[in-house]
Amino acid sequence: MFPLYDTIPSRKKPYITYTIIFINVAVFLYELILNNTELQQFFFNYGVVPLRYTHVLTNKIKYVYQWNIIENIIYSNPIFPFISHMFVHGGWSHILGNMWFLWIFGDNVEDRMGHFNYLLFYLTGGLFALFFHMAFNLFSPYPLVGASGAISAVMGAYFVNFWYSKIVSLVIWFVPFLIEIPAFIYLFVWFTIQILNGTLSNITGSGVAYWAHAGGFIYGMIIGSRVRRRYYI
Q: Would you list the domain boundaries of the chain? A: 2-226
Q: Please report, to the nearest 10 degrees, the dihedral formed by the alpha carbons of residues 40, 41, 42, 47 taken in order.
A: 90
Distance, in Å, from the CA atom of 6 to the CA atom of 176, rounded to the nearest integer, reads: 18
Residue pLDDT, tens place only, 170-208: 988 888 889 999 999 999 999 999 999 988 876 766 668
**Amino acid present at 149:** G
Taking residue 181's Cβ as centre, other Cβ atoms within 10 Å add up to 17
| Residue 51 vs residue 149, higher pLDDT | 149
Average pLDDT for 220-224? 96
- Region of 167 please: left (phi>0), alpha (psi -120 to 50) or beta: beta
Q: What percent of the chain has pLDDT over 90?
A: 67
Q: In what order do the strands lie in the sheet with 175-182?
A: 2-6, 166-173, 175-182
Q: How far apart are CA 56 and CA 73, in angstroms?
A: 16
Helices (H), the chain: 15-32, 36-46, 50-54, 61-67, 70-73, 81-84, 92-113, 115-136, 148-161, 183-204, 210-232
* CA neighbor of 207 nearest in space, from 150, 155, 142: 142
Q: What is the mean pLDDT of the segment spanning 121-134?
A: 97
Residues 6+ apart with CB under 8 A from 70: 61, 64
pTM here is: 0.90
Whether 221 shows a pLDDT value over 60: the answer reads: yes
Percent share of the chain, pLDDT over 70: 86
Q: Does domain 2-226 have CATH number 1.20.1540.10?
A: yes
Q: Identify whether the C-beta of residue 124 lies closer than 8 Å to the C-beta of residue 224.
A: no
Please report how the helices 183-204 and 210-232 are oriented relative to each other, as an axis angle in degrees rounded to 10. Answer: 150
* Residue 175, strand partner residues: 173
